Structure 1
Amino acid sequence: MTAVAMAAAVTTGAVVGSVGPAMAAQELPVLSPFRQAIAAAAGSDRALAAFYQARDYEPLWTGRGDARRREAFFRALSGAGAQGLPVRRYDPAVLARAFREVRTERDRDRLEVLMSEAFLQYAHDVQTGVLTPSKVDPDIKRKAPLRDRRATIEAFAKSSPAAFLAQLPPHNPDYDRLLKAKLDMERLVARGGWGPTVPDGKYEPGDSGRGVIALRNRLVAMGYLGRTASARYDGMLQHAVQLFQADHGLNADGVAGRDTVRALNVSARDRLKSIIVAMERLRWMNMDLGKRYVWVNEADFTARVVDDGKTTFETRAVVGKNGKDTRSPEFSDQIEFMVVNPTWNVPRSIVTKEYLPMLQKNPNAVSYLKLINSSGQTVSRDGIDFTQFTAQDFPFELKQPPSARNALGLVKFMFPNRYNIYLHDTPTKYLFKRDTRAYSHGCIRLNDPFDFAYTLLRPQTSDPKGVFKAALATGVETILNLKKPVPVHLVYFTAWPTARGTMTYRRDIYGRDAEIFDALAKAGVALDGVQG
């Protein structure tokens, strides 16, 4: 019997000899040296040692009146697999067997501590994630909002067990939608997925043949097209392709080209992995996101302003290109101010890796950039032999004054951070027309930066557009502070539910989700939610 099946049996009492509600209600014998045994068993865990000491070593799981607590915890563990958690970490089957096999006070104290350890591990995993983000990928700078272990078990001891356990997962409608999507996708995978894939090629209205039939059947299986016997690429099929493209971040032109076919052929099993990863990512963000916040989904190439849970502004974004030093990181911060007519202080890494080689070939290259010495003075390039410098000893900085050609455009939005990442305008507008928009050095470029600025300023002025344009008209660098900083979350979700409950998917451009799922699998997470 699998661990989850055993856990369910423990809850229902369906297995002879298991600790179901009937047996959980039985009182385990009170053994006099129990307190000393608990102190010794919990001694290696400071949180548990302090917890039991504070309660005078009274048991939490194995004493009189603890049956409801045991039952509630086993019931929660029976759903751990559905949450995308590694059930073997808490192993309800081992816990159930330990209850059946209690014979001595030593057995009992081990069981008491084993239950508390399993509870704390489960609470940690379901609240704030199975993994430590930065250990999976160094570009994931996010720090999960960890709870104090002693405070957690103390609160549990004082609360209604079932209610306490129910509030541990993220209370986020998107998490609930992902949970439902996971269960639906598991059933689909068990049935064999969406059937045959679509042959490589380009399919467009008017076409017919084997590939069009495969395209039709795939879209029918995915729910984008009703049952039809048509073998032609007709209007209904074109509309279905457009719906699919919209859900997958593709140009909804109704032509099934290379990128569309590639997205169509992603298996249900791989989509399930993306959903499980998205649930883990939301556990890392199990905190108050803010009444108003900015949500930048790097995998979706978009930036949004969310007010009271609803998107009130959205724009296309360009994110960091897929290189070792250029991928956009993930973290949360607060936008404190915007800089209108910004100066671009070229990062040292760009100066030495990109511009120094250009200057060594031609001292007048990138003439729009000013050369600044260590005293902060602008110096002439005349007479400077750039070939004498290396990346390590190059003594100058490069700056680009405010202008329409400035690499930052005409405004940047600042949330000061150690990674030197911010949102900004750009003169390179044509990139926003592309489906995949990973071209920057790590910062986030916005397609509609002025409208974004007006949206941020709106709560503090009756004329946000006028305030912004007045600063812009000066032509000099000007700071506009936000009276109330706005939380900004740089995230990376390749699977995301809509308010209607349907799922949207994106490419894993940085390979991060693949890394996360591999780490989850090593921790014991299974695709079908059943480990054993």
Structure 2
Amino acid sequence: MKKVKWCFYFLLVIQLFFLKLVAFAQDQSVTNEIRTLLEGDSTYLNIVFNDSPLHSPSELFSFYSDRAFEPSWSVNQILTCNALELRLLIQQAEFEGLVPEDYHLEGLNPFFEKFFNGTSLTPLELAKVDFLLSDAFILYANHIYSGKVHPEHINGSWEIIQKVNEPKVLEKLNLAVTQNEVRTQIFSLHPKFAIYKRMRQSMIKYLDLQKEQVDEKWETIKIKDAIELSQANPQINTIRKRLLFWADLDDYQVQEGNGDIYDSLLMEGVKNFQQRNGLQADGVLGKATIEALNKNPKELIKQVSVNMERLRWLPDTTVNEFILVNIANYGMDYIREMDTLLHSNAIVGKTYRKTPVFNAGMSYLVFSPTWTVPPTILKNDVIPAVKKNLNYLTAKNMRILDFSGQEINPSTINWKSVNGNNFKYMVRQDPGKDNALGQVKFMFPNKHNVYIHDTPSRTLFSKEDRALSSGCIRIQKPFELAKLLLADQPDWTDELIKKAMSSSKAQSVSLTRKIPVIILYLTFWTDSKGKEQVRKDIYSRDDELFLLLQKPVINTN
């Protein structure tokens, strides 16, 4: 009996040994194909991958050399779960606002279909799958980390310093295949901001909504005049359906015969929608609200895509205290320890004098500032106004100075011959209630000469469209911001701050630390409550970026 048992175990060991030999031989044949592909010249590699050119051949050579050319995505000539997982992530690249076809999806599909049909892949085919998956991982990981489009390729000014750390993609690729962590390693390269993950969930939601809506016509809502509470309009039913679609309105029973009446429950849904779209939540169905209601899921998917890309451009370093200005939101936020301590409405640059996107460090503020008129405003606004009325300067509390600081009498200047190109002086507005900078300005030196400041034109903050400045950011709550910035300097009491703001003499105050100021442009984000926030593309930048995102990746090898 013992002899029989010994014989059984001996045969089992022999069988396992031979199976391992067979498996080794099978994998070795794939290894040989990988080695042959890499050791051949680039022409051969290009011919083999003619239908789906490789993007990172040098990185692939490093990766496979370190593995002794062993396959990464198959074992015993069978595709691994890691391979299936990466293919699924490629198919889901649209969740990131990216294009699945950029990552060899079409090149991989025939091999996967053959595999799913139970047909064995040849060693060369497995080698090709290995190359395509590894190459896809490298490109996808880089796009997730720093974006597909480089900011310098867009027309709009984007000068925020990008990430400085390398993503170490080959290390992550190695961990993905050796530790079965494909999804973990890819997702580790996501932007570190919680907002990005929330936007990804919104993208999934919108893609599902688009599928729901694909067979249903998206009717364009048209109104002649604004619709107010209790008014009847034939478009009310469509508006109600639209708000139900976006979940800004809970379903409710409409009284028979009142389907065209703008009722109070519908108005609450309209207000919810207006808040999410950065509109005045007054419940009035005006032009701007109807325009926003006419956006379909496809248009919103585009908005999510471009703004996820913008987030990928941002540096991933976290700071405890910073000031954030979102141009498209007409808003400024002062954030400390991830809490928003102050939100202020803001006025930003006009469409032809756009506020630039950049970051800098705020180091001081100036109470009761003077204003030296910038060259563009001097040329386009001030000089033409003085030519029409020499008293314009006095009315605006402005003086003309030469560049040594000496005051010049305006009457001594031949205004008929003056223009913005030959004007040899500067114009300065003294402190006062009508000063263009208001009662305080917040300084973060930069090449654009753009800063945050107060304004005497307080009524402008009630407007929905606040792209009204010459590039600088005017804020509604300058006193509150000054108070927060000077909170660590006890001598600056509320009374002293107010007194300095209403002085006839400018006073500079240094901050005890340099506070990062980030001025960016986001037309979509998902807030901490999971609500999608949609804003008008006031500088018409989304279309250009979306087209670049949709373009196939150009192979530069």
**TM-score using structure 2 length:** 0.79
Query: Could you tell me which residue of structure 1 aligns to residue 144 of structure 2?
Result: 126
Shift of residue 460, structure 1, vs aligned partner: 5.0
User: Tell me, which stretches of 5 or more residues in structure 2 are unaligned?
Assistant: 1-22, 47-53, 113-120
Q: Secondary structure at the match of 2:143?
A: helix
Alpha-carbon distance in 1 for matches of 2:494, 2:545:
42
Q: Give yes or no for contact 1:196–1:218 (8 Å, CA) kept in 2.
A: no
Q: Of the two, which has the highest radius of gyration?
A: 2
Query: Could you tell me which residue of structure 2 aligns to residue 186 of structure 1?
Result: 207
Query: Could you tell me which residue of structure 1 aligns to residue 415 of structure 2?
Result: 386
* AA of the residue aligned to 1:213: N
* Structure 1 residues 303-360: Cα deviation after superposition (integer angstroms, max 9, x where no partner): 111233332211110011111xx11111222222211122212111111222222333
Query: Could you tell me which residue of structure 1 aligns to residue 197 of structure 2?
Result: 176
* AA of the residue aligned to 2:27: E
> Which residue of the other structure, out of 253, 261, 271, is the alignment partner of 1:228?
253
> Which residue of the other structure, out of 196, 221, 227, is the alignment partner of 1:198?
221
Alpha-carbon distance in 1 for matches of 2:548, 2:286:
33
Alpha-carbon distance in 1 for matches of 2:334, 2:26:
54
* 1:428-443 map, 5 Å: 428-443=457-472
Alpha-carbon distance in 2 for matches of 1:423, 1:224:
34
Q: Give yes or no for contact 1:52–1:58 (8 Å, CA) kept in 2.
A: no
Query: Could you tell me which residue of structure 2 aligns to residue 62 of structure 1?
Result: 71
Shift of residue 282, structure 1, vs aligned partner: 1.4
Shift of residue 140, structure 1, vs aligned partner: 2.6
Report the aligned-residue RMSD. Answer: 3.5
Q: May I ask how many residue pairs the two structures share in their alignment?
A: 496
Does 2:73 match 1:79? no
Q: Secondary structure at the match of 1:103?
A: helix
> Which residue of the other structure, out of 317, 336, 339, is the alignment partner of 2:363?
336
Q: CA 1:523/1:479 → structure 2, altered by over 3 Å: closer, same or farther?
A: farther
Shift of residue 37, structure 1, vs aligned partner: 3.7
Alpha-carbon distance in 2 for matches of 1:175, 1:280:
10
Alpha-carbon distance in 2 for matches of 1:504, 1:56:
48
* Structure 1 residues 35-78: Cα deviation after superposition (integer angstroms, max 9, x where no partner): 99459659999997589569965457736999686566445424
Q: Give yes or no for contact 2:432–2:439 (8 Å, CA) kept in 1.
A: yes
User: Tell me, which stretches of 5 or more residues in structure 1 are unaligned?
Assistant: 1-22, 525-532
* Structure 1 residues 122-165: Cα deviation after superposition (integer angstroms, max 9, x where no partner): 1221111111123222323334326537x432454367443322
Where relative contact order (Cα < 8 A, 6+ residues apart) is larger, the structure is 1
Q: Secondary structure at the match of 2:240?
A: helix
Alpha-carbon distance in 2 for matches of 1:418, 1:351:
18
Does 2:418 match 1:395? no
Alpha-carbon distance in 1 for matches of 2:298, 2:63:
48
Does 2:273 match 1:244? yes
Stretch of structure 1 that moved more, 160-169 or 414-423: 160-169
* AA of the residue aligned to 1:34: R
Q: Give yes or no for contact 2:442–2:453 (8 Å, CA) kept in 1.
A: yes
Alpha-carbon distance in 2 for matches of 1:421, 1:46:
40
Stretch of structure 1 that moved more, 355-364 or 327-336: 355-364
* AA of the residue aligned to 2:383: L
Stretch of structure 1 that moved more, 206-215 or 169-178: 206-215
> Which residue of the other structure, out of 526, 529, 534, is the alignment partner of 1:500?
529
Q: CA 1:196/1:402 → structure 2, altered by over 3 Å: closer, same or farther?
A: same
* AA of the residue aligned to 2:222: P
Alpha-carbon distance in 2 for matches of 1:156, 1:455:
46
Alpha-carbon distance in 1 for matches of 2:528, 2:534:
14
Q: Give yes or no for contact 2:137–2:173 (8 Å, CA) kept in 1.
A: no
Stretch of structure 1 that moved more, 39-48 or 90-99: 39-48
Q: Secondary structure at the match of 1:31?
A: helix
* AA of the residue aligned to 2:71: T
Task: Calculate percent identity across the aligned residue pairs.
Answer: 27
Stretch of structure 1 that moved more, 183-192 or 203-212: 203-212
Q: Secondary structure at the match of 1:79?
A: helix
Query: Could you tell me which residue of structure 2 aligns to residue 90 of structure 1?
Result: 103
* AA of the residue aligned to 1:280: E
Alpha-carbon distance in 2 for matches of 1:212, 1:64:
56
**TM-score using structure 1 length:** 0.82
